[in-house]
Structure 1
């Protein structure tokens, strides 16, 4: 066997850190650091890189086909979003899920998206209705296949479409950055019993209110949808404690107390 053939076989048989389908899902049109960021963020949210695991920078650079500089730039941005923890003397680690940051992300998301959906109801067009209908159709198709990765992407697209109708994609970038920790909880919840069906039903209610051009009904439907994350957190902490920070249960109880006005 030639050296080239042996190298090809070794490469193809080696266990990849980042799956090939994830790599090809992020377009080459990004800058190198931007593409590295998008791939790493998706890998962390999809639990390809689990909380607490070390980030093998050398191997990931090889898989992404980039030098250390673009990856380090991506990791610094991910650290700002509390998705990784960089320890200069030790290495880079995927951060465990911090509920305080999850709840902060939810607060920002809720405040902005409720305003966006109300504005969207006032600014709806036939073209916007068509875009939402196409997105819902795709959601139903991938949900029937239990394709959680694709459903997550379409879920993100759904909310981005509404934000674009209400204001602009610049607002979506603010929301997207603020909800990084929240996204891990959302994605973890997808396999829970009947969860995708519930999300689809809530999405349909939001679209119905938007088509009615009713800002208040649209906001109510969106609020019910976004608030579902708290039920998900309770289930996930019980079943996947190791993915959360040690203070997760205490943080959840404190949040419940604040929300009920008992504190």
Structure 2
């Protein structure tokens, strides 16, 4: 996707959207993905006029998408002035991590009390896929595979709605994770944790699954001082 803030002598072709779906949610999803991936970093301006041209839309769906991003704290809207990608709010990141840990500790316990071969195979396949992305240096795909691993835990426990809730609260912690991911050894640590969680669930060891999950989910925030030192202008709070 082309830069949403760039100008050009010729108008870009509109970004293709699915005509069977409402436009505003699609614009929201695409902008959110770019913000989480830091393709649109903290402080980046979002021009409504440029977005209308980019997506070939009127002002209404663009406004609705930006309002939804603002509700998640991912952009700041200054009426009659500008819309900027927000800085990473550490307090909101900590709250999202607290919510996720509380839910997932119970989920892995539930799954480990009723282990199945099918789930074990699925989780191991996801770890293998994620390992391939790490080897290729594809950090964007690695993060998508990371989310797929955790989402599978929720769906296996029949808690899909809770995953939707967690995702809607995770914009700030996910950006911290994206900043932290290139750190030496970080990807391998994530892979090791995922494998340990999957193995503990498969073996029917709930306490062990919870211990590995707790260590896994606290990794980024435990290194917050280092992240803040490297990207001080990206963080607030």
Q: Structure 2 length normalisation: TM-score?
A: 0.89
Contact 1:185–1:232, Cα closer than 8 Å, also in 2? no
In structure 2, how many angstroms separate the alpha carbons of the residues matched to 1:89 and 1:155?
Answer: 39
Matched with 1:35 is 26
Verify: 1:82 aligned to 2:69, yes or no: no
Give the total of aligned pairs: 228
Q: Is the 8 A contact 1:123 1:166 kept in 2?
A: no
**Deviating runs (4+, > 6 A) in structure 1?**
26-29
> Which residue of 2 is the match for residue 66 of structure 1?
57
Aligned partners of 1:114 and 1:219 also within 8 Å: yes
Taking a change above 3 Å as real, the CA distance of residues 208 and 30 of structure 1, as seen in their structure-2 partners, is farther
CA displacement 1:60-80 (0-9 Å, x = unmatched): 233234332222222212111
Q: Distance in 2 between matches of 1:145 and 1:232?
A: 25
Report if aligned partners of 2:181, 2:187 keep a CA contact under 8 Å in 1: yes
1:116 has 2:113 as partner? no
> Is the contact made by 1:33 and 1:71 (CA closer than 8 Å) also made in structure 2?
yes
* Aligned mates of 1:110, 1:145 — CA distance in 2: 29
Verify the 8 A CA contact 1:206 1:222 in the aligned structure 2. yes
SS of residue matched to 1:89: coil
Q: Deviations over 1:87-146 (max 9, x none)?
A: 113121110011111111111111111111111223432322222122111101000011
1:174 and 2:165 are equivalent in the alignment: yes
Q: Deviations over 1:3-46 (max 9, x none)?
A: xxxxxxxxx9xx6339xxxx78x977753222111111110011
Q: CA RMSD in A?
A: 2.1
C-alpha change, 1:129 and 1:68, in structure 2 (3 Å) is farther
Residue in structure 1 matched with residue 219 of structure 2 by the alignment: 228
Task: Measure the CA separation in 2 of the matches of 1:108 and 1:209.
Answer: 22
TM-score by length of 1: 0.80
Q: 2:140 aligns with which of 142, 149, 157?
A: 149
SS of corresponding position for 1:48? coil
| Counterpart in the other structure of 2:179 | 188
Which one has a larger percent helix, Structure 1 or Structure 2? 1
Which moved further from structure 2: 26-35 or 43-52? 26-35
Query: Matches of residues 203-218 of structure 1 in structure 2 within 5 Å?
Result: 203-218=194-209
- Greater RCO (CA < 8 Å, at least 6 residues apart): 2
Matches within 5 A, 1:119-134: 119-134=110-125
Q: Which residue number in structure 1 is paired with residue 154 of structure 2?
A: 163
In 2, the alpha carbon distance for the partners of 1:212 and 1:147 equals 31
Q: Any conservation in 1 of the 2:105–2:213 contact (CA below 8 Å)?
A: yes
